[in-house]
Amino acid sequence: MNYKEIPKVELHCHLEACFRPETVMEVGRMLGLDVPQDPERYYREWLLTQPLQNLEIALKRIVDIQQIWCSEEIIERMTFEACEYAIDQGIRIMEFRYSPDFIAHGKPHLDHQKIHDAILSGLSHVTDSDLTVGLIGIVQKVLPLEDAGKTVDFIIDNADTFIALDFADQDTHDLSVYTTLVEKVRAAGLHLTVHAGEGGGPEAPDQIRAAIEVLGAERIGHGIQIINDESVMALVKDKAVALEICPTSNWLTNTVPTTAEHPIRQLMEAGVPVTINSDDPGLFGIDLCHEYEILHREHNYTMEEFNRCNDIAAAQSFVSLEDKQRVWPREIKE
């Protein structure tokens, strides 16, 4: 099976972690960072390619990558290269999400608007007529509420160039504190997805329930812990809330023991709308086709099932129907 030839939709990809190794090496060298120039050492020391042994390792890798997004010129370049990656992977509908707070942290010369304008400039260079791209603004759930409100206001001020908002990172507040912010987001015509139910623990299904019932999430980032709660699974199915599933990411974060033991097929066969995504391909040293190869080899996914997942993703994408249908080979039934 030639995975690149499958027309794809990617709903869950963090722009900051979608990068070329060569670019990171070059920019790191320019900044005086200790970025290994040997590909094997770079892969071993700068990426997350094995299940996390501790949080310190993960944070170090993330901080390293955060430093690379250091200027408007670099942001523009890396955004364009991320789009080239999407084209190479056979992706037709691409949703990139990014956190302006993450990129701007520790960089007084970069504010949210400069970052966003540089990203838009990178997108403007894409000329391939078979790709459409939408941007999702991330609000980090670890932010103080006042700062979260400022980020929401920034996203709303740029609502004509965002398609949605995403609440991501670890829960530090009850999700109900965001209801007023979500009302403003809805009024601006933006959609909502929420990271929830990725990790284990008895609270995971409740996170998903709250995201849907309290905030009105239309999609859930990850959400695989519904496999342990029939009532939440029924809610997801009843509301037709798609799960943005990222198999390798769930293995690397110790959410599943192995990719072969991932519950994606169980969820699909139970009638849950599942979609296939890469999460952080540059940081994990993978690509979206890698996820397809895993699902074909370890879960016996067929071409028909891949097409079904992608048709679900096309329908659930927050990109406008007109733009989606222009690049999608089949009729999109929303």
pLDDT of the chain along its 334 residues, tens only?
A: 999 999 999 999 999 999 999 999 999 999 999 999 999 999 999 999 999 876 567 767 888 899 999 999 999 999 999 999 999 999 999 999 999 999 999 999 999 999 999 999 999 999 999 999 999 999 999 999 999 999 999 999 999 999 999 999 888 789 999 999 999 999 999 999 999 988 877 788 899 999 999 999 999 999 999 999 999 999 999 999 999 999 999 999 999 999 999 999 999 999 999 999 999 999 999 999 999 999 999 999 999 999 999 999 999 999 999 999 999 999 998 7
Overall CATH class of domain 3-327: alpha beta
Judge whether 226 and 208 are in contact, CB under 8 Å.
Answer: yes
Is residue 141 within 8 A of residue 168, CB to CB? The reply is yes
Helix (H, G, I), strand (E, B) or coil at 229: coil
Instruction: List the domain boundaries for the chain.
Output: 3-327
Whether 222 and 244 have beta carbons less than 8 Å apart is answered as: yes
- pTM value? 0.97
Sign of torsion over alpha carbons 80, 82, 83, 84 = positive
Cβ distance 244 to 193 under 8 Å?
A: yes
Contact predicate 163/95, CB 8 Å: yes
In this structure, the strands spanning 8-14 and 91-98 are parallel
